[in-house]
Amino acid sequence: MNVWGAAKVSAVVLACFLIFGSSDVFAAVKYKDVSSSYWAYEAINYVSDRGLIVGDASGSFRPEALIDKFDTAKILAKAAGYKYTNATSEEQTYYNRAYSKNKSLLAKYAKTYSKWNSTADHEIAFLLEKQIFSVDDLDEFIAKDSSGNQQLRALSRQEAACFIVKLMGKSYEALKAKPGVEFKDDADISASFKPYVYYLKSLGIVTGDSSGNYFPNGAMVRASMSVILSKALDILSSETPAEPRIVSTSQDMSVNNVTSIEGTIEKFFPSFRGLQIATSDGKSSICQLKSSAVIYIGSFLKTYGDLAEGMQMSGVLLNNELIEIRASAPKISSGIIEIDDGKLADIKYSEGAAILVIESQDGAVSEYPAAESAAFLRNGGYASSLSSLKVGDNIDAQGEGGMLYKVQAIGVKSTVDGFIVEIHISPDKNTIVFSSIDNEIDEYLLNKEKVDVYSLRLGMKARLNLESKTVEAFALLEQNPEPSAVYTGYIQAISSTSLSISEGGDSAITSIGLQESTSYVDGSSEQSVSLDNLFVGMKVTVVLPSSGEPAQKVTIVSA
């Protein structure tokens, strides 16, 4: 574990003992509604002793009371190190900056929801900067019923799992881990929460009932939250932080007259809040951070403990002290990828690695490599491999460090009626170009195990049963399509509204109407062309929706 990771673990564990100055203040807490035989007795005393979840003035803990999202914010913030008393000036400066940065965002929620609890705004801002909360999470704090009345949302079991993993600093591990035995109600767990739920299951932090169900949408109560929080902190406290590596300071430490510095973080000197920075000229400088220094990693406010070896950074110096740092995370931790309701546009391969091309709801297209150990899910169940994905699938995915580790594909089932316009056969895949009865032309992949490409013919009128853009079943609507629906011949005359063709020699001339929606294709290149590219004597194939109707598509066979 590097200094950065060690600092994260230490911060969470030590926070439990530093929040209120001394854990003795909460020692041996007993509640009149929590007997020694109560199932969560030890966990409740554990979190109470540390001031994370405490009782009320009457001496009651209310173990079965629901936890809303504002309660959650205060609990998680304290567990992550937020102090209400005895905060150092540096810590208080960080809290104030986090709040100032997010103040306008929180004000919008307070304006939108009359039930917004602004007393938790400082804790929410703190959690946003720690990346335990995301902005999307704020949309789930308050719900409106059918009458427009506002209600506080209770924390669900699957949401709690996600927040606890992020509190532990284990998102990367959760996203790359393969799940073990699934809960019986696995299908009820949202795809975006599954990695976190199963990671906590693997650690024994969450469990199912005697029937093997997890009840992901069930509400968390104070007793249940006490149990999973105490287990998580126990695990973190058992991890031994690595000692920072201290190097000789005999190198040139002079930073006189330097107002800025750029380079890579090489070493840490916690004793005096120092950094050794390798600059582009091959030299190293050791700089001390001012206690009030502003530190950004990406766009998030961070602390000295969040910096890591290998980060690229730029800094501003005042009187030889760093007063501002802007750093980017190393590749292994370059940010969590969360994809919701995307569309799989394509699957590419580069140097043996699979790359998923995913279109987001706003139409933006991005490429994401799949990790070698990635887990693929299809329609709620775990699939065996990447080959289970289909172009056109709805996609939810998670990853980190630029790699996808979990991909949930949901096949979109539909049917379409129309005509086969083109057939393409290759060793890798078989596809058809299909024109619907609404003149929408699209290409579909054939499921080789279910559809025999050699039984298909141009002009066939059929109904396709699709999952995403793959043909799973093919049914002829007419066993013998009308010959007049498809014509192949030589152009005898052409205008902007009609086309006359014959098969050659003394054969009859057929006149076919043209319209603005008629498409023109060069058969040799399969590229779209215009009507101006057609001329008398050219051989073409013309597809009509049915005999006597205007042409749907004209394909140039040869000149």
Tell me which residue of 258, 360, 368, 363 sits closest to 314, measured CA to CA: 258
Structural domain ending residue among the three candidates 476, 505, 523: 476
Q: For residues 118 and 124, is the Cβ–Cβ distance under 8 A? A: no
Backbone angles phi, psi at 364, to 5 degrees: -70, 140
Q: What Å distances lie between residue 200 and 26, 92, 340, CA to CA?
A: 28, 32, 22
**Cα 178 from chain centre:** 17
Same domain, 21 and 149: yes
Greatest CA separation for the chain: 107
What tens digit of pLDDT does each residue of 147-173 get?
A: 889 999 999 999 999 999 999 988 878
Enclosing H/E stretch for 529: strand 527-529
What tens digit of pLDDT does each residue of 162-207 get?
A: 999 999 988 878 877 776 788 999 888 887 788 899 999 999 999 9
Tell me which residue of 513, 493, 492 sits closest to 502, measured CA to CA: 492
Burial class (CB in 10 A: 0-12, 13-18, 19+), 101: middle
Number of helices and strands in the chain (H, E): 10, 26
Same domain, 166 and 39: yes
Q: Where are the beta strands (DSSP E) in 447-485?
A: 461-467, 470-476
What tens digit of pLDDT does each residue of 415-465 get?
A: 898 889 888 888 878 899 998 887 788 889 998 888 888 888 888 888 999
How many Å apart are CA 468 and CA 6, to the nearest integer?
A: 45
Band of pLDDT at residue 24, cut at 50, 70 and 90: very low
Structural domain ending residue among the three candidates 298, 332, 366: 332
Answer whether residue 456 is part of any domain: yes
What tens digit of pLDDT does each residue of 375-397 get?
A: 888 876 666 577 788 888 898 88
Same domain, 222 and 366: no
Q: Give the domain CATH number at 465.
A: 2.40.50.140
Answer whether residue 244 is part of any domain: no
State percent of the chain over pLDDT 90. Answer: 30
Answer whether residue 275 is part of any domain: yes
More confident residue, 409 or 507: 409
The number of domains in the chain is 5
Same domain, 287 and 140: no
Secondary structure in 3-state letters for 449-461: CCCCHHHCCCCCE
Q: What is the pLDDT of residue 387?
A: 78
pLDDT of 243 higher than 90: no
What tens digit of pLDDT does each residue of 328-344 get?
A: 754 433 457 788 888 99
Q: What is the pLDDT of residue 78?
A: 96
Q: What is the pLDDT of residue 254?
A: 44
Question: What range does the domain containing 430 cover?
Answer: 413-476
Structural domain ending residue among the three candidates 451, 476, 501: 476
pLDDT of 247 higher than 80: no
